[in-house]
Amino acid sequence: NAGVTQTPKFRILKIGQSMTLQCTQDMNHNYMYWYRQDPGMGLKLIYYSVGAGITDKGEVPNGYNVSRSTTEDFPLRLELAAPSQTSVYFCASVRANYGYTFGSGTRLTVV
Amino acid sequence: GDSVTQMEGPVTLSEEAFLTINCTYTATGYPSLFWYVQYPGEGLQLLLKATKADDKGSNKGFEATYRKETTSFHLEKGSVQVSDSAVYFCALRGSLTGGGNKLTFGTGTQLKVEL
């Protein structure tokens, strides 16, 4: 049982480049989330999904896009990378009334 | 909106010392409360939770009691170990329907335990 798998673990992007952060869960959870973690700032919600085909914005969605074509996958897309997007990104999934299961994170640096 | 405030770190303790990390919250209704732990280089792991007032969550020697009258959920451990060194996050999940089960996190408190 792999839980929540994120790839890649590390990435360096140049300003203006694009990339997709992958997230897959094998627990058949309906709810999935993308958070970013900045030093001293806790976790901020970027986007979330309550099921396949349904996504919604969180607190800090600007500069990101998501899709949810299957229950398992919830990729996060950065179209024009900016230095302000340097952060650690965490994907998570949850079954109702239980705690979240987090992936191990993607450390992204934009230079 | 919902918010969580927790004490700033880092907190540095000697092994076997008593730990308290304060957490207070603002939310409407009756939220569920959580403590998560993040070890270096890893994702967050659920440490304990409480879903209603006066519930006590406990795990691995850590405890926290849901106090609605003081809107608090302080984390305690009677005797910390070096292996407890990590960042601890307090979080809440609002009770309102349609919220997508979203968690609101505090800023995290780093704990360092020394021999």
3-state secondary structure of B1: coil
For residue B81, is pLDDT > 90?
yes
Closest Cβ–Cβ partner in A42, A56, A96 for B105: A42
Could you count the other beta carbons within 10 Å of the beta carbon of residue A29? 21
Cα B58 from Cα B60, distance rounded (Å): 7
Q: Which pLDDT band holds residue B9 (cuts at 50, 70, 90)? A: confident
Whole-number pLDDT of residue B59: 96
Cα B113 from Cα B17, distance rounded (Å): 9
For residue B97, is pLDDT > 60?
no
Q: Do B42 and A104 touch (CB under 8 A)?
A: yes
Distance from A27 to chain B by nearest Cα, in Å? 16
Among A84-93, B18-27, B87-96, the range scoring the smallest mean pLDDT is: B87-96
Reported as a single tens digit per residue, the pLDDT across A25-46 is 999 999 999 999 998 778 999 9
Whole-number pLDDT of residue B53: 92
Reported as a single tens digit per residue, the pLDDT across A41-90 is 789 999 999 999 999 999 999 999 999 999 999 999 999 999 999 999 99
Whole-number pLDDT of residue B98: 58
3-state secondary structure of A103: coil
Cα A73 from Cα A4, distance rounded (Å): 10
Q: Which pLDDT band holds residue B24 (cuts at 50, 70, 90)? A: very high
Cα B75 from Cα A97, distance rounded (Å): 21
Q: Which pLDDT band holds residue A1 (cuts at 50, 70, 90)? A: low
Cα A72 from Cα A91, distance rounded (Å): 12
Mean pLDDT, all residues of chain B: 92
Question: Do residues B114 and B58 make contact, with C-beta atoms less than 8 angstroms apart?
Answer: no
Task: With beta carbons under 8 A apart, name residues in chain B contacting A100.
Answer: 36, 44, 46, 103
For residue A95, is pLDDT > 80?
no
Residue for token digits 């609101």?
A: B104
Cα A64 from Cα B91, distance rounded (Å): 24
Q: Do A100 and B103 touch (CB under 8 A)?
A: yes
Reported as a single tens digit per residue, the pLDDT across B33-80 is 999 999 988 889 999 999 999 999 999 999 999 999 999 999 999 999
| Residue of A9, A27, A36, A37 for testing the chain B interface, max B β-carbons within 10 Å | A37
- Percent of chain B having pLDDT more than 90? 78
Cα B97 from Cα B115, distance rounded (Å): 47
Cα B8 from Cα B50, distance rounded (Å): 22
| Residue of A7, A27, A34, A102 for testing the chain B interface, max B β-carbons within 10 Å | A102
Q: Which pLDDT band holds residue B94 (cuts at 50, 70, 90)? A: confident
Mean pLDDT, all residues of chain A: 93
Q: Do A100 and B106 touch (CB under 8 A)?
A: no
Whole-number pLDDT of residue B41: 82
